[in-house]
Chains A and B, each alone.
Chain A
Amino acid sequence: MNSWNQLLQNALIGTEKKPPEPAALSTDEELVPALQSIAGNTDLDAEEQLLQATALLFNFRQAGQTAQELKEMEYSIAEAETLPYCSAAAKDTLRELFEYQALGLFYYWIRHCAAAKRIAPPELVPLLLQLAAKNPELRDPIRVITGKRGEWLAQLNPDWQESKSLSLEESWEQGTTDQRVAALRQQRMENPEISRLWLTESWSKEAAAVKQKLLEAFDTALSDADLPFLESCLKDKSQKVQQQVLELIRQIPESELVSAYAQVVRSSLVIRKEKTLLGLSSKLSWEVKTPVEIHPDWRKQGLETVSNSKEFTDEEYILFQLLHWVPPTLLNELSGLGTIELIQALQKEKLKQWLPAIASAAVRFRNQDWINTLAEQSDSFLPVLIVALPPAKQDAYAKTWFTGKEEFFIPVFVNRETEWPAPLARQLMNYTAANPYQYTKSFYQQLMHLLPLEGASWLDQFDPPEGYQRHYWQSIKEEIQPLFDLKKRIQQSFNA
């Protein structure tokens, strides 16, 4: 035991029980005379001897401190970067972003940085990796702009491991559930056959909750080749999984189920174009032949046989549901009419009620011709179409329908990747500003990348109707004004 520890033991146990023996301490020769002098001083009691010896050794230890020498030490060094760092101005905007925590502007900054083929300065890489750990959707973009330094750091911190670059196979085999879902989705696009193989091999070992998440990724590039696997999953123990599989099968026109639905629709629905009484014009005849015969299993699969709408009889209601699950082209086949002509004919008062089912089918079977034509030709607002429309057509649809239907559009528009066109953004902000308790400061922080820069000049023009709302909007406005300024500086810093 070294001398310090000997004294420590005395101090811990107490000099009453264990008096110190300064002269007997096993220590360096240089200290011996001083310790002997303490021990030999009869004026000192045991406590004083201990404190004096401790003070002496404390100083000796402090002054004699050495650094441990290790000849063989392994360490890793980050690889040299292949891309240049961003400018000082861009670095400053990124650092400022961490003060505001405006997620939308992080997207914006990261996108600009990646587009400029630059990387973030190393001192901010840990903050970016932390951001990626909290926001999985940012992991891939952040990986790109944190370069080799980010890769190196991620290896050292288990919390950042997910930010490490993994191949699709590695992600599928070793990743977290989120990473596996992302890998499966990617593989569905690149090679659906391999993705099927992955899922077939692992299916029996997956938990029900994981199966549900994996199936969410499976709807990418769905085809008839997936049917054998999906049909085998219909007997899964989990009801939720069964229902999800059923929904996927209902998206494949070649499936037996969809064919069976189509068969019932063919035999129950007669669509004809007929001349009017005077023979000067024509009208669409839409006749439901009863009874509508259905397979007994379909009820178990969720088909309702009693109408919950006064617009439909029970038989019509069954047909209405089946129309959700058959390709809309079946209507072209039954009527012999083109899509535009058919949709125009369906605008009549008694027939409009069928449009929601037809729009739903168009989206389900990803029939872009039907989706676009319905959006352009229908007098009815069909919210299901919004998400399936390409951005330009979404904008046009919003131009017609946005007012009063804001809540249908906003959830779709917030998922856009590119900035909203100015007129739409203005309309949207006018609505959100009027509802400041629903659309708080965090709403704008999340979406700053989508708001055009001219939005800054509109803020003073929005004027919520109620006093209490006005007051709250005022405080939100003060918070978001600097974000517009920051966005502008981000843009300038990468364009300079």
Chain B
Amino acid sequence: MNFSEDQVLALAPDDASRKAGSALASPGKWVSKGKNDLALWGECQGSGSKPYQTQIDLQSIAFKCSCPSRKFPCKHGIGLLLLNSRQPALFTDSATPDWVSDWIGKRQEKAVQKEAAPAKPVDEAAQAKRQQAREESIEQGIDELLTWMKDLVRNGMLSLPEKGPAFMEEISRRMIDAKAPGLANQLRQLSQINLYQEGWQSRFLEQLARIYLIAKGFQHREAINPLLKEDLSTAVGISISQEELKQQSGITDQWLVIGKQLQEEDQFTTDRSWLYGLQSGKYALVLQFIVRGQGLQFSLSTGMLLQAELVYFPSAAPLRALIKSQQPIKERPPIKGFSGWQEQLQHRANSFARLPFQLEMPALVHQLRPVQYQGAWCLQDQENRLMSLPDGYPALWKLLALSGGAPLDLAIVQKEDRVEPLSAFYQQEFIAL
């Protein structure tokens, strides 16, 4: 697959890697370089006596480099891929060196072994016991959480600004102790609401309602449908085995990466890639976690098109998914999104009917025009309906520059009543915003 420079740079973990990678995208830096259908490789002369061996698996976009960097992909990986996108004619050598064929071979072997490996014997009794203990712990935590919520509404939320974030942090920590990290995360979002910003009261109550729904739903999980029960388990923080999930068959489609967001937290970065299945019309969110610069299994960037099998996490309104297998493709068929806000909001309402506490939802909407209304920037559809952009939307000027006042097809993600554009379809390309 040939990546555009934009796509390569979007793979870099930070600005410094982007800059350093750009500096290495020069033929003089590479002692050797080559490529074939499976891999791209090169040897870069660094400060050590031996050049660093950099290799990229072109089938599943994975990187490996012998340099000591903790970043992933490292600057050598970015530089090599960038050089290939700028000057592909320089990569004339197609005879795979041993160090590349070893790595590619091992990857393929591992993939085959994974598929063929018999499931490990599971001590079901012990597992059930562990699960029961955990659920009991979570239930105890939820009892405390509900008491905390009731105290809060009994005494009134007006005094919250005086209490400060510590008030919410304490209960959030308690949820961690109760083995309910999902609830802890929901409470952290509550504590992140700026209590000195206009309209905080309504936002706070909405998030409180969401937490209440999850907590009460979990208490009554045996009485509700199995898929929603799975959502509740995920929402409180009970994770699902990804290996088990991969054993299930998924949806094979041409998946377009319509947007990518990076969220940095204390110890790790969350890579959130939003995908859209061109045949199925389904949306998916692929989450990958980068811990202290370790690698991503799949390096995705906005505009990439993959022939892939995605397995959704069990849910009443499936969105989060993992990539079971994938390979890049070049030709993109026409894309069919929503014709306007009414259609998109109807889709959203249907999804809420199945999963009442979900937070954000992606969509591809055709022909949206950025306009200013009552001092705020909005997106107007073809039927003159408006939805607001988030306050301080960082890519506003890039969006306006691409639009020039004319409508564009946009990939958006809606959170509450605001829509955040992720990418724009411009001159036959999806451009990250």
Contacts and interface: CB of A to CB of B under 8 A. Distances in A.
Contact of B201 (A12, A47, A68): A12
Contacts, number: 163
Interface string A31-59: 00000000000000111101110110111
Interface stretch (A70-78, A162-170, A189-197, A247-255): A70-78
22 contacts: A12-B201, A46-B154, A47-B149, A51-B212, A54-B205, A55-B216, A58-B210, A59-B209, A59-B213, A67-B345, A67-B387, A69-B383, A70-B373, A77-B406, A89-B86, A92-B5, A99-B19, A100-B22, A122-B426, A148-B404, A152-B405, A482-B26
Given A8-B202, A45-B150, A100-B19, A14 B156 contact: yes
B18 interface: yes
Given A51-B212, A67-B385, A17 B156 contact: yes
A129 to B, nearest CB: 8
A167 to B, nearest CB: 24
A16 interface: yes
Nearest to B432: A123
Nearest to A91: B5
A126 interface: yes
B341 interface: yes
Contact of A73 (B208, B384, B417): B384
B398 A55 contact: no
Question: Lowest 6 A-B CB distances belong to which pairs?
Answer: A14-B156, A78-B404, A67-B341, A67-B385, A77-B405, A126-B397
A13 B185 CA distance: 27
A154 to B, nearest CB: 11
Nearest to B215: A51
Contact of B353 (A51, A55, A63, A89): A63
Interface string B19-57: 100110010100000000000000000000000000000
A417 interface: no
B369 interface: yes
B428 interface: no
A70 B388 CA distance: 13
B170 interface: no
B405 A76 contact: yes
A489 to B, nearest CB: 8
A202 interface: no
A126 B431 CA distance: 15
A122 B402 contact: yes
A125 interface: yes
Interface of B: 4-6, 9, 15, 18-19, 22-23, 26, 28, 86, 149-150, 153-158, 201-202, 205-206, 208-210, 212-213, 216, 341-342, 345, 348-349, 352-353, 356, 369, 371-373, 380-381, 383-387, 397-398, 400-402, 404-406, 416-417, 426, 431
A449 to B, nearest CB: 19
Contacts of A12: 156-158, 201
Most buried by B among A52, A71, A485: A485
Contacts of B201: 8, 11-12
Contacts of B202: 4, 8
A145 to B, nearest CB: 14
Given A95-B5, A122-B402, A51 B150 contact: yes
B153 A50 contact: yes
Interface in A79-120: 88-89, 92, 95-96, 99-100
A47 B19 contact: no
Contacts of B150: 45, 47-48, 51
A10 B155 CA distance: 10
B371 A8 contact: no
B260 to A, nearest CB: 16
A29 to B, nearest CB: 18
B212 A55 contact: yes
Contacts of A11: 153, 156-157, 201, 205, 208
Nearest to B4: A88
Contacts of B341: 67
B153 A51 contact: yes
Given A47-B154, A485-B26, 20 more contacts: A11-B205, A51-B149, A54-B208, A55-B356, A58-B205, A62-B348, A65-B349, A66-B342, A66-B345, A69-B383, A70-B385, A73-B373, A75-B372, A95-B5, A95-B9, A122-B426, A124-B401, A152-B405, A482-B22, A482-B23
A222 to B, nearest CB: 43
A157 B9 CA distance: 28
Given A14-B154, A16-B155, A64 B213 contact: no
Q: Chain A interface: which size bin? A: 35 or more
B44 to A, nearest CB: 14
A156 interface: yes
Contacts of B149: 47, 51
A153 interface: yes
A7 B205 CA distance: 9
A126 B210 contact: no
A153 B403 CA distance: 10
Given A13-B158, A67-B341, A67-B387, A8 B22 contact: no
Contacts of B384: 69-71, 73
A123 B26 contact: no
B214 to A, nearest CB: 10
Contacts of A65: 345, 348-349, 417
B59 to A, nearest CB: 25
A188 interface: no
A482 B210 CA distance: 51
Contact of B386 (A50, A67, A78, A489): A67
Contacts of B26: 482, 485
Interface string A123-158: 111100000000000000000000011001100110
Contacts of B18: 99
Contacts of A88: 4
A258 B341 CA distance: 77
Most buried by A among B212, B216, B371, B404: B404
Nearest to A126: B397
A68 B386 contact: yes
Contacts of B404: 77-78, 122, 148-149, 152
Contacts of A124: 401
A64 B356 CA distance: 12
A13 B156 contact: yes
A8 B205 contact: yes
A124 B402 CA distance: 9
Contacts of A156: 400
Given A8-B201, A58-B210, A482-B23, A126 B398 contact: yes
A485 B369 CA distance: 40
Nearest to B353: A63
A335 interface: no
A75 B156 CA distance: 44
A126 B26 CA distance: 28
A16 B150 CA distance: 11
